[in-house]
Amino acid sequence: MIVDGAQRPGTAYTLSHWPGTPTPPAFAADLSAEIARNALAHRHAIPAEPRVASIDHYDADGLVALALLVLDGLDAEHGPLLVEAARVGDFDVVTDHSAALVAFALNALDDSERGSGCTVAPSARPAGAFAYCGVLAQRALDVLFDLAAHPEGFESLWGDEFAAYESSVRALTEGGASIEEFADQDLAVVRVDPQFDTAPTSWEGASLHRAAVHSATDRLRVATVAGGAMELRYRYESWVRLATRRPRLRVDLDRLAFDLTAAEKHAAQWTFDGARSITGALHLVGDDATSTIDPEQFVEMVRGQLHTLDQGPPAWDPYSDRSLSSPAE
């Protein structure tokens, strides 16, 4: 059985919110962890053949889904909390403080610089992505009961990420940053005050921790303006198959990348990761690249192109039978 991923030759059963996967419609849910809980509640509907459950990548949703299936009693004791932790891990949406701590701790298990006995030092990592995923998953399974029961006791894992998240929430509530929504384009525009120090709020290349932003808006297209650092990013919810709603489908932003590059006064270049990319973004080429485009001109160009493109066919439809279950690299 494959959980939270794409089926492969020989896969007997699939429980996944990925597009194109043959998850039974009766189990459908927004998160793979929820799908796993649905399957557990209707065990009679699962064929007897699967004897092994597996994941092919490490993240909170996949790990939680796997754990619920293989750890006796975990669902009964901590199922709802762990689903919310999976929501933080996949969608960067925080609905519960303890769930955020669990998700951030699970994220940290894949960081050899945390200094915790739960991390995997580079010298101890096995060759190959699948083997390494297995090591991480086993470490997470070993601590998950304790982590879910007493997440505050794992500060050595979640401390750094929670600090960035909490600082980002304060920035949004105290004026260091703001969010403006444009419902017609399913767009949220995050504006970071140019004078605001983003050192405490930055996480994984974002000026603000994405969980602070995504928890404050339901819009699934997020444009961020932080001085000359600007981007437009699709949230993960628009790549997978959601059961509770049908988001605005993704459109191809290659033309917008071309127009933005043409509008630059110097040599800055824009690129689009592609609509099939899990969290595909329209962004500048180069980690330190900055734009010369006025931020409000950028917002107007984004809104105009989205308005036009939304009238035509989508570039990615996870609900189509033709959708592929493997993401673009």
Structural domains of the chain, count: 2
213 shares a domain with 188: yes
Indicate the pLDDT class of residue 299, thresholds 50, 70 and 90. very high
Question: Is residue 234 one of the residues assigned to a domain?
Answer: yes
Measured between alpha carbons, how far is 268 from 11 in angstroms, rounded to an integer?
46
236 shares a domain with 290: yes
Question: Is residue 321 one of the residues assigned to a domain?
Answer: no
137 shares a domain with 7: yes
Residue that is last in its domain, among 160, 194, 227: 160
Pairing of β 2-3 and β 14-15: parallel
Measured between alpha carbons, how far is 276 from 310 in angstroms, rounded to an integer?
16
Q: pTM of the prediction? A: 0.93
Radius of gyration of the chain (CA): 20
113 secondary structure, DSSP code: T
Q: Is it the case that residue 26 has pLDDT exceeding 90?
A: yes
Indicate the pLDDT class of residue 112, thresholds 50, 70 and 90. very low
Tens-digit pLDDT profile for residues 32-65: 999 999 999 998 877 766 678 899 999 999 999 9
CATH number of the domain residue 213 falls in: 3.10.310
Is the separation of the CB atoms in 197 and 185 below 8 Å? no
Q: Is it the case that residue 28 has pLDDT exceeding 60?
A: yes
Question: Is residue 169 one of the residues assigned to a domain?
Answer: no
Question: Is residue 328 one of the residues assigned to a domain?
Answer: no
Please give the helix or strand (H or E) that residue 135 lies within, else none. Answer: helix 129-149
Q: Convert 265-280 to b/e letters by CB count within 10 Å (16 or more is b).
A: eeebebbbbbbbbbbb
Please give the helix or strand (H or E) that residue 272 lies within, else none. Answer: strand 270-272
Q: Of 131 and 35, which is predicted with more confidence?
A: 35
Measured between alpha carbons, how far is 99 from 303 in angstroms, rounded to an integer?
34
Measured between alpha carbons, how far is 99 from 101 in angstroms, rounded to an integer?
5
Measured between alpha carbons, how far is 99 from 82 in angstroms, rounded to an integer?
7
268 shares a domain with 152: no
Quickly count: other Cβ atoms within 10 Å of residue 307's Cβ.
13
**Res 79: pLDDT:** 98
Closest among 256, 207, 217, 209 to 237, alpha carbons compared: 217
Structural domain of 25: 2-160
Is the separation of the CB atoms in 15 and 32 below 8 Å? yes
